[in-house]
C-alpha cells in the first residue's frame, strides 16, 4: 500500500489547523471567564470600601478603590485584546523582566492551585483535627509456668 506524501502532509496540516482552532476557542473561553472573574472581584472589593468609610478609615478605602480600579483596567485590557496580542504582550514582558515574569508565574500557579483545591467538587470535607489515636492493645498475659517444688 503506497500513500502519497502530499496526502499525508495535507492530513497533518488539517489536524494541526483543527488543534489550533480548538486551542484558540479554549483560550477565548478562558479569557472571557478571567475577565468576568476580575470584574466580579473588583465589584466585591469596591463594596468593601463602605465598611472602611463607616469606620472612618477613608485612607484605606481610597487604597482599596485604587486596587479595584487597577483590577478593572486589567479586565478591560483582557476584554479588548486578541489572544495573539495577549501572548505577544506576555512574551515581551518576559523578555524585559524575566525575574518578575518568573515570580508572577509562580504566584499565578500557587493561586491556581489553591483555587482548584478549594473548588474541588468532590463533596468531601477534610477535618482539621486529627483522629484520636487507637488504644494500644494490652499484651496477652502469658501463663507463668508452675514449677513443682518440694514442700
Model confidence over 83-141: pLDDT tens digits?
888 889 889 999 999 999 999 899 888 888 887 887 775 555 554 555 555 555 555 55
Same domain, 32 and 42: yes
What is the domain extent for residue 86? Answer: 82-116
State how far the Cα of 18 lies from the Cα of 56, in Å rounded to an integer.
57
State how far the Cα of 142 lies from the Cα of 51, in Å rounded to an integer.
71
State how far the Cα of 14 lies from the Cα of 143, in Å rounded to an integer.
83
Average pLDDT, the chain: 79
Cell numbers representing residue 117 in the block:
483545591
CB 71 within 8 A of CB 41: yes
Same domain, 65 and 110: no
| Three-class SS state of 145 | coil
Same domain, 92 and 73: no
- pLDDT of 148 > 70? The answer is no
Same domain, 96 and 53: no
Same domain, 50 and 101: no
State how far the Cα of 87 lies from the Cα of 83, in Å rounded to an integer.
6
Q: Given pLDDT bands bounded at 50, 70 and 90, which one contains residue 5?
A: low
**33: nearest Cα among 22, 41, 44, 45:** 41
Same domain, 34 and 61: yes
Same domain, 65 and 25: yes
CB 35 within 8 A of CB 86: no
The total of structural domains in the chain comes to 2
Same domain, 21 and 53: yes
Amino acid at each position: 500500500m503506497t500513500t502519497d506524501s502530499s496526502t499525508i502532509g495535507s492530513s497533518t496540516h488539517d489536524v494541526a489547523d483543527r488543534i489550533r482552532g480548538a486551542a484558540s476557542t479554549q483560550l477565548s473561553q478562558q479569557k472571557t471567564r478571567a475577565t468576568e472573574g476580575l470584574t466580579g472581584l473588583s465589584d466585591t472589593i469596591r463594596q468593601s470600601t463602605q465598611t472602611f468609610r463607616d469606620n472612618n478609615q477613608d485612607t484605606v478605602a481610597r487604597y482599596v478603590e485604587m486596587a479595584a480600579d487597577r483590577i478593572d483596567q486589567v479586565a478591560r485590557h483582557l476584554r479588548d485584546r486578541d489572544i495573539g496580542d495577549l501572548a505577544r504582550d506576555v512574551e515581551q514582558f518576559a523578555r524585559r523582566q524575566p525575574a518578575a515574569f518568573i515570580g508572577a508565574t509562580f504566584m499565578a500557579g500557587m493561586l491556581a492551585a489553591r483555587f482548584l483545591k478549594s473548588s474541588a467538587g468532590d463533596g468531601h470535607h477534610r477535618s482539621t483535627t486529627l483522629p484520636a489515636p487507637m488504644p494500644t492493645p494490652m499484651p496477652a498475659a502469658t501463663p507463668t509456668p508452675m514449677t513443682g517444688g518440694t514442700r
